[in-house]
Structure 1
């Protein structure tokens, strides 16, 4: 029997990286994005739906028969409140409500470090379910998404895994990413663990690789079956050389780094 997994935000950075990595025999990937999606490659077991994550009717139709939804869609950085409210907060509600109506049993929500960005760095690995202290409207939207996930689990019985994703790129680009990097391969491993863990209930876990300089606990992710295999340290010499040979200490005062700076104040800059 073919399993269907829906991925919102499939045309975005992480969605594009995950598309080939989540392909499996016996699995159909349904790719959903407001942007146009590339046509499937020959033999690729995917289909595509072009739609907004705020379109409840279309999402419900797209989710019918799915085993799980991976919700990556939304704005990925700071924006004015009205856009964050509509796309990230209302969009996450719409995804969860469409999943409930379509009887999808499991939803994986892409949360973010920025849901807890104003927690100071204290030299101790941040635990799972660290209480929200968002650094931006964007970070607040991710904290709201976690809360919505909790509601939909407790009230409606959905399994909901919220992953506070680190910096998911082919390799770390900045000194802080030596601690926060999530390799694309490890991201796929964590998503697979979240898809296949038996009865996860409601979880909030960190999504990072096994970085030598890691700031975050991996206990929760490992409890789902995640075993990271990559470490940003292999890139440390090049990353630090590109930054003048030293860590960016100012960027490490808070977990949210530059997102905590006055320059990212959406109201002050409007």
Structure 2
């Protein structure tokens, strides 16, 4: 399969491009920065908000699928967040429709449900893919909006679109919260590969975490698409030191993004 990977120069992008190539896929990278040294796959230095430039890449490369990892990875103003996550997704979806590309795998975020409280009754269980959308930031709002756009294109054009609500992508967990939210590099590749090849998912959501003993999110939606994580953050529990922030970060599944430090006006004003 020929896969166009946006955000290919980012931390997740570099892992995914290598991992997909090792699985036999032909990978085409797209990022607004030049190709990192030492990589030799096809590459396009393009801003994914530029619909004409994105369409030109599709015209040249004729990909079979898209893995959309591009976007600002943190909080910004509402307009900037929507541009980074929703406008880029729209540009890709339009190019997919124009060139009959049928599969999109999207790096959504756990922050789409980040204001979901923790510490409820035990019978409540892990947060499922059908849980109420409760973004914790404008970043989370933009991820929710991008998922909604994918759902629209799935219904309108029959595109298969999988939103992967990624937890904490790290080489290894570093905080107590990460023991619940960690996504290992190897499991990230497994997740993307499964989302690319799942038969006819339509519009689907999965939680992008490893097989963590303390997981806050339900892995069943991912398993239904063929994602079988193997790593467990609990293997690192003995070296994670407690911090004063741990209690506040455990109050909601979004962790620090759901705390007051991320509260800000929707719009940046000049006066």
Give the structure-1-normalised TM-score: 0.92
Write the deviation string for residues 182-216 of structure 1: whole angstroms up to 9, x where unpaired.
10100100111111111111101111100010111
Does the aligned pair in 2 maintain the 1:129–1:205 contact within 8 Å? no
SS of 1:150's equivalent? Answer: helix
Query: Of residues 13, 29, 49 in structure 1, which corresponds to 2:44?
Result: 49
Residues of 2 paired with 1:17 and 1:103: CA distance? 27
- 1:1-270 → structure 2 map (5 Å cutoff): 3-24=1-22, 26-39=24-37, 41=39, 46-64=41-59, 65-121=62-118, 122=120, 123=122, 124-239=125-240, 241=241, 243-244=242-243, 248-267=246-265
Alpha-carbon distance change, 268 to 47 in structure 1, aligned in 2, over 3 angstroms: closer
Indicate conservation of the 8 Å contact 1:176/1:247, yes or no.
Answer: no
- Kindly tell me the number of residue pairs found equivalent between the two proteins: 262
CA RMSD of aligned residues (A): 1.8
Describe the SS at the equivalent of 1:179. helix
Q: CA deviation at 1:11?
A: 1.0
- The alignment partner of 1:205 has SS state of strand
Equivalent pair of 2:248/2:259 in contact (CA under 8 Å): no
- Look up the SS of the partner of 2:35 in the other structure: coil
By how many angstroms is 1:179 displaced? 0.2
Select between 146-155 and 17-26 the one with higher mean Cα deviation.
Answer: 17-26
SS of residue in 1 equivalent to 2:169: coil
Instruction: Tell me, yes or no, if the aligned pair for 1:189 and 1:228 is still in contact at 8 Å.
Output: yes
| Distance in 1 of aligned mates of 2:216 and 2:166 | 13
Q: Which moved more, 1:6-15 or 1:259-268?
A: 259-268
- State how far apart, in whole Å, the 2-side matches of 1:268 and 1:98 are: 30
State the distance in 2 between where 1:268 and 1:151 align.
Answer: 25
Shift of 1:61: 2.3
Mind listing any 5+ residue stretches in structure 2 that lack a counterpart? none
Distance 1:269 1:176, change over 3 A: farther
What's the TM-score once normalised by structure 2's chain length?
A: 0.91
Rounded to whole Å, the distance in 2 between the matches of 1:40 and 1:153 is 37
Cα drift, residue 24 of structure 1: 3.6
The CA deviation at 1:218 is: 0.7
Deviates more, 1:116-125 or 1:162-171: 116-125
The alpha-carbon deviation at position 85 of structure 1 amounts to: 2.2
What is the rounded CA distance, in whole Å, between the counterparts of 1:137 and 1:50 in structure 2? 27
8 Å CA contact retained: 2:77, 2:266: no
Contact kept? 1:79, 1:266, Cα under 8 Å: no
Deviations 1:105-149 (A, max 9, x none): 100111111011111112520111322111110000000011001
Matches of 2:267 and 2:202, distance apart in 1 = 40
DSSP-derived class of the 1:57 partner: helix
Structure 1 regions of 5+ residues with no counterpart?
A: none
User: What is the Cα deviation at residue 26 of structure 1?
Assistant: 4.7
Equivalent pair of 1:63/1:104 in contact (CA under 8 Å): no
